[in-house]
Chains A and B, each alone.
Chain A
Amino acid sequence: MDLDFTPEEQAFREEARRWLEAHVPAPGSLASLDTPEGFEEHRRWERTMYDDRWSVVNWPAALGGRDASIVEWLVFAEEYYRVQAPKRVSQNGIFLLAPTLFEHGTNEQKARYLPPMASADEIWCQGWSEPDAGSDLAGIRSRARRDAGGWVLDGQKTWCSRGAFAEWCFAIFRSDPEAERHRGLTYFLVPMDAPGVTVRPIPQLDGETGFAEVFFEGVRVPDDQVLGGVGEGWRVAMSTAGSERGLNLRSPARYTEAAGRLLDRYVGRLAEGGEAAEAATALADRVARAYVDAEAYRLHTYWTASAVAEGQAVGAEASCNKIFWSETDLAIHGLALALGGTGSELLEPGPDGGSRPGEWLDGYLFALAGPIYAGTNEIQRNVVAERLLGLPRG
């Protein structure tokens, strides 16, 4: 056991820090990525990173990455959050679909889809949930029908993050209505501009169009847009879900960085004295707990990373992760608002002349989604109980 970063890891950190400090936009200077302008501003930032090979550091160099180790990837994320760099508009692609493509894609698919994903020329959204299939994902009813030279897709997907603006969608459809419900699914890669695709944007809590409903009516896709084999959709989707719940999606740096700012806010309130200081003192133990939990998540991530680096698989432990990071995120941002006291619901002036949530309210709104997406925390608790503790299925 050696918790020192190696000289190579340290050098990687320094290089990343130098580059980020020279290039990162000022915090909050981009419009929300859930607006058309903001989406394009975030796409340009991804492109800037890609041009200097920082957009997908853990990918092979041939695909625009740096062959970074998993520890280096975590180090990069720490530096990324340290400078409060923009949200990753490519995240559904680079963090969720990409690991699935690396595992299940053909060489042709990897060559076709990964480079434009890395450069953000093609941004992906996820088409899994349906109006009647949320937590019960295997209950999806959108259909894929065999047709000459490919497939015809019909149905409706919903809560597709970035679905209003994305170029591509990775989605699961029922390809065999007769098969057992987990076995009749197939994973498709679908262009959002294909004839028959209709997108209806859905405004989120903050009023921005963070997700969309997507309708498929007779959408034709060729065979080479099936990922991982016909009828294999559930298995392939679970590998994506593992990434979503486990290491890939939520870097611990998000929480350690926010927890650090939470401490600053706490100190600031103490320094004000009077009512503010008393309110802060009353929250001291909860602030400390949020800080400790963020650190515990960071340590757990490095622990998992070492296990992965030595060839161990991350199983249902990913569900523990998802519960923990989502609740930690809520705790940090909820406490920051509580420290603010009266008026923490007020908006701030945005770069476009309008108003928008400040960093803590924005973070809180974002955090509120955490226990819901990627499989609700209730579903994760079932997974932990059944797969890690051996309790019977209900």
Chain B
Amino acid sequence: MRFAFTEQQLELRGAVRQVLASECTPADLRALHERPPEPAAGPALGRADPGRTSARWAVLAELGAPGLLAPEAHGGLGLDEVDLTGVLEEAGRVALPEPLGESAGLVVPALAGLLELPGAGADAGADPGKVARWLGAVAHGEAVATVGGVEVGRAGPVLTTAPLDPDAQLPDAVPCRTPRVVASDRADVALLVAPGAGGGLEVHLVEAAAARRLPTPSIDGPRRPGEWEWVPSPETRLASGGAAAVLVGSLVDRGALVAASQLLGLADRMIAMAAAYAVDRKQFGRPIGSFQAVKHLLADARVRLEFARPATYRAAESIARGRPGRAAHAAMAKALASDAADLAARVALQVHGAIGYTWECDLHLFMKHTWALSASWGDAVTQRARVLAEALAGRSG
């Protein structure tokens, strides 16, 4: 048993942290917050790279971050989820608005996994050449990928894709709508889950150009959620039947892990901001951080974060090794990380006082991203219900 990162993992994470400190500043996040939502679908970027989003993706691509999990043969780094969790924690620390979790943590392993299946995707009609092309493009950072159509409920995956005409029958050639696709306006391609024949499900790879994309206003504007209208077809279908169910199960676990990892970084950032403010800000002639009421708020947040971390790293290790407990482990990590980050946000706001309630103070940039990620891929209560169900099943044998 060795429950620690390697030197190499710490170095990679350190490099990402250093780069993001200058490449993803609060000013960049503000530029993305203040940019009005685009009225309709269009090219990924309306004007010259607001918030430096394209430049930042290029820098992350240089580090190999989007292709971290991709096999080297497909232009990736061939690393695993334990490497990725540290990188995503750093993404969280700066509230990275780009879909690194979705591209690197969800789409890349999904596509790489399909190529490894015997007779890759043949049953569903997916063209292995096409899958490999997209995998390479996403791994190299040439294409930005996102995910939609599946969320996490107490009883398992919840499918959100629905036909535009409620009486229409999926799967094929019926226009449908997938809500809450993140990075909607900057993604080049999306992995979309849709209901399949006979109550099953399907996974499709949909190019942005083939979809009508409508922005969905969000308090966490830089995350850019949107609705995709698209038409499932044999050409877009990656998997159906059992293969699709396995893929969606994996998305649910991985989604929890990538969100949890980022929430750890967000919590750490907000606690650090509040602690720094508590040292600077004076009332009654002394720093407010010298008052126990303030100390104890921050200490409680620090404690919850301290105990969310190893659980998240364990979930990464479980997914990397394909352990049988990985679903429960990912659920546990998400529950702990969501709670830790929600508490950190709440406490950081309280410690900042009225200034923290303003647009001027940077805190809101991190709070809002926390709210979005905390609610995504199963909130704490949902994930705890999944853990409980799993644990009870385990105890009854």
| A residues whose Cβ falls under 8 Å from a Cβ of B | 1-6, 9, 71, 260, 263-264, 266-267, 284-285, 287-289, 291-293, 295-297, 299-300, 302-303, 305-307, 310, 317, 320, 323-324, 378, 380-382, 384-386, 388-394
Are A296 and B295 closer than 8 Å at their CB atoms? Answer: no
Alpha-carbon gap, A274 to B313, bound state (A): 41
Complex: how many Å from CA A245 to CA B305? 18
User: In the complex the two chains form, is B392's CB within 8 Å of A392's CB?
Assistant: no
Q: Do the beta carbons of A381 and B1 come within 8 Å of each other?
A: no
B359 within 8 A of A: no
B209 located at the interface, meaning its Cβ lies under 8 Å from any Cβ of chain A in the complex: no
Q: Name the CB-closest residue of B to A322.
A: B303
B295, A306: Cβ atoms closer than 8 Å: no
**Whole-angstrom distance between the alpha carbons of A144 and B294 in the complex?**
38
The 4 closest A-B CB pairs, nearest first, are: A385-B295, A391-B289, A381-B299, A288-B384
Quick one: CB contact mask for B48-92 with A, threshold 8 Å, 1 for yes?
000000000000000000000000000000000010000000000
Is B307 within 8 A of A300, CB to CB? yes
User: Roughly how many angstroms separate A296 CA and B2 CA in the complex, as a whole number?
Assistant: 17
| A303 and B292 contact, Cβ closer than 8 Å, known pairs A5-B1, A9-B1, A310-B4 | no
B381 touching A296, Cβ below 8 Å: no
Given A71-B1, A306-B1: A288 and B314 within 8 A (CB)?
Answer: no
> Which single member of A287, A295, A389, A393 contacts B299 (CB below 8 Å)?
A389
Q: Is the CB of B384 within 8 A of A285?
A: yes
Q: For A310, list chain B residues within 8 Å (CB).
A: 4
Interchain nearest-CB distance for B386 vs A (Å): 9
Once the chains bind, are A386 and B302 in contact (CB under 8 Å)? no
One digit per residue, 1 when the CB lies within 8 angstroms of any chain A CB and 0 when it does not, for chain B 1-27 equals 111111001000000000000000000
B111-141 residues with Cβ-Cβ distance < 8 A to A are none
Interface residues of B in 272-326 (CB under 8 A from A): 275, 278-279, 286-287, 289-292, 294-296, 298-300, 302-303, 306-311, 313-314, 316-318
Interface pairs (5), CB distance under 8 Å: A1-B316, A293-B307, A310-B4, A389-B295, A392-B279
A-B contacts counted at CB < 8 A amount to 153
Report the minimum CB–CB distance from B97 to chain A (whole Å).
Answer: 27
Which residues of A sit under 8 angstroms from B152, Cβ to Cβ? none
Given contacts A1-B5, A71-B1, A391-B279, A289 and B384 within 8 Å (CB-CB): yes
**Which residues of B lie under 8 Å from residue A288 when comparing CB positions?**
335, 384-385, 387-388
Besides A386-B295, A389-B275, A391-B279, 18 new A-B residue pairs in contact (Cβ under 8 A), listed by A number: A2-B2, A71-B1, A288-B385, A291-B388, A292-B311, A296-B332, A296-B336, A300-B310, A303-B309, A303-B310, A382-B296, A385-B295, A385-B296, A385-B298, A388-B302, A391-B290, A392-B279, A392-B286
CB distance from B66 to the nearest CB of A (A): 22
Asked whether B275 lies within 8 Å of A391 as measured between CB atoms, the reply is yes
**A1 x B2 contact (CB < 8 A):** yes
| Min CB gap B67→A, angstroms | 21
Decide: A299 near B314, CB < 8 A? Known: A71-B1, A284-B385: yes
- Choose among A287, A302, A389, A394 the residue that contacts B1 (Cβ–Cβ < 8 A): A302
User: Given A287-B388, A393-B290, are A306 and B298 also a contact pair (CB < 8 Å)?
Assistant: no
Structural contact, A2 and B292, CB atoms closer than 8 A = no
- Residues A296 and B311 in contact, CB atoms below 8 Å apart: yes
The one of B309, B314, B317, B395 that contacts A267, using a Cβ cutoff of 8 Å: B395
| Residue B271 interfacial (CB < 8 Å) | yes
Q: Which residues of B contact A390 (CB under 8 A)?
A: 275, 279
- Chain B min CB distance to A57 (Å): 16
Is the CB–CB distance between A317 and B381 below 8 Å? Answer: no
B287 proximity list for chain A (CB < 8 A): 391-392
On chain B, the residues within 8 Å of A382 by CB distance are: 292, 295-296, 299
Contacts of A291 in B (CB 8 A): 387-388, 391
Closest chain A residue to B80, Cβ basis: A1
**Chain A residues whose C-beta falls within 8 Å of the C-beta of B335 in the assembled complex:** 288-289, 292
B306 proximity list for chain A (CB < 8 A): 300, 317, 320, 324
Q: For the complex, what is the distance from the CA of A292 to the CA of B304, rounded to whole Å?
A: 12
Shortest distance in angstroms between A302's beta carbon and chain B's nearest beta carbon? 5
CA distance A311 to B332 in the complex (A): 29
Q: Do residues A6 and B1 form an inter-chain contact, with CB atoms below 8 A? A: yes
Instruction: With CB as the reference atom, state the residue of chain B lying closest to A3.
Output: B317
Indicate if the CB atoms of B391 and A306 lie closer than 8 Å.
no
Bound Cα distance from A307 to B10, whole angstroms: 14
Question: B3, A391: Cβ atoms under 8 Å?
Answer: no
> Which of A5, A9, A289, A389 interacts with B302 by CB under 8 Å?
A389
B396 at interface (Cβ–Cβ under 8 A)?
yes
Q: Within the complex, which residue of A267, A296, A391, A392 is in contact with B308, where a contact is CB–CB below 8 Å?
A: A296
Check A263–B1 contact: CB distance below 8 A. Answer: no
Contact B392 A267 (CB under 8 A): yes
List of A residues within 8 angstroms of B381 by Cβ: 285
Tell me, rounded to whole Å, the shortest Cβ–Cβ distance linking A134 to chain B.
16
